[in-house]
Amino acid sequence: MDSIPEGLIKPEFERRYRKLLGDEYEVLLSFMAKRPIQSIRINPMKVDPDWMVGKLESLGWELEQIPWYENGYRVLEGPDRLGNTKWHQLGLYYVQEAASMIPPVILSPKPREKILDLAASPGSKTTQISEMMRYEGVLVANDVSPSRVDALASNVQRMGSLNVIITMMDGRSAPYKLGQNLFDKVLLDAPCSSLGEARRSWGALVRWSPKSVNRISKLQVSLAKAAYKTLKPGGVMVYSTCTLEPKENEWVVYNLMKAGATIEEVQIKGLRWRPGIERWLNWEFGREMRKTMRIYPQDNDTLGFYVALIRKPA
């Protein structure tokens, strides 16, 4: 079995995560040491999903449907990487990790809505939202730098996401450049320390430190407050990260609650998750955090994620 190289786990990381997970700490490390199962999201706006599944299976791929998204499939085995096929190039499917499909499912986009994806690159969730909207309505997809916007634009074009408008700005300026109280729904899949992606690359463990977590958390709070300002009264926002750090997750949502936001409970069929934590180190977040979702790699054999559904009172 794969194992994380000796010396990669910092003593402070072990101290914190043993406190967070107790006896399950070693289970977390064992999953972090395994490569994630590849998965795809079929684009129903370009191809009949049943046809696509049948075609891939006839050529030797073994697929398993992902319980929480009807057009998502795990790739258990196959003759080639699915990113190398002509169907991928044509945008008939998108190679996307299974847990990454969860935030759009919770956002539950509908046709004719006006939606903002504030930190959108490379476009996996943007194109998923667009498909769930049936290309009806407006989806503004934003990112901060030319290189990130190039990646976003490439995937939006490949997937044929006709209702997407791409913008480039620091997300913290969105309320002033796009407008306040404007969008029915907002997704902020925030930049983070990426600990949940350690299964893909141990670089997240190398870079991890309490100092870097605190620095990223300040940016996340600023982005979350900006995203919340763009939301219409009565609208909903999903805040998500691919990290397990309370300072980047519950702490950020707690700051939105102080700004007047309420937290909504969610249920997703077939998904195992843990409630958010009420306290961490010297911080008290409150019982409302139990409505938010912690998704550990060992829960569903995926990457790690955190997701919160937030409403702006009418």
Domains of the chain are 99-311 (3.40.50.150)
Structure-token match 């190289």, residue found: 5
Q: Residue 195, Cα to own-chain centre: how many angstroms?
A: 13
Residue 197: phi and psi, rounded to 5, are -100, 10
Q: What is the pTM of this model?
A: 0.97
Burial of 246 (0-12, 13-18, 19+ CB in 10 A): buried
pLDDT by position in tens, the chain (length 314)? 468 887 889 999 999 999 999 999 999 999 999 999 999 999 999 999 999 999 999 999 999 999 999 999 999 999 888 999 999 999 999 999 999 999 999 999 999 999 999 999 999 999 999 999 999 999 999 999 999 999 999 999 999 999 999 999 999 999 999 999 999 999 999 999 999 999 998 889 999 999 999 999 999 999 999 999 999 999 999 999 999 999 999 999 999 999 999 999 998 999 999 999 999 988 999 999 999 999 999 999 999 999 999 999 99
Q: Hey, which residues are catalytic here?
A: 242
Paired tokens of 143: 């990112």
Give pLDDT, residue 267: 86
